[in-house]
Amino acid sequence: MYTVLQNIHSYLAYLVLAGLVIAIISALSSSSGNRPFTDSNRKMALLGLIPTHLQWVVGLILYFVSPLGASNFSGAAMKDSVSRLYILEHPLTMIIAVVLITIGYARAKRAVGSPKGFRNIYIFYGLGLILILARIPWQAWFGN
């Protein structure tokens, strides 16, 4: 089960990154002409929100079944940068990113009919994307 979840979590990351980039680019391009944020723009923002939440759920489960996750938590593990990344830094940063993306979507949803919705998407999704990119365990993706 661990290997299957790990593979799902790894491949779903590409979908998260693509969805966030598409949503941010769409919001940036739509905000250039003083148009109101519409329901179809809100649905475009879901391309970033849904995969991010799905990834978070898979990651949460993986955190408790992985030998690198919660079961590895100790003072000695905190001294090792790789262990600390998987135990604390990656999960905490991803939770903050998911919260920012969710806040951005919620604020944009309330701004339907106003150009402010676009700004909420590209600012909050952008911050979430930066956090995600900062704490992806790149060495696991591309080797040492």
Q: Which of 55, 56, 31 is nearest to 120 (CA)?
A: 31
15-24 pLDDT, tens digit per residue, is 999 999 999 9
109-136 pLDDT, tens digit per residue, is 999 888 899 999 999 999 999 999 999 8
Distance CA 47, CA 86 (A): 26
Provide the whole-model pTM: 0.90
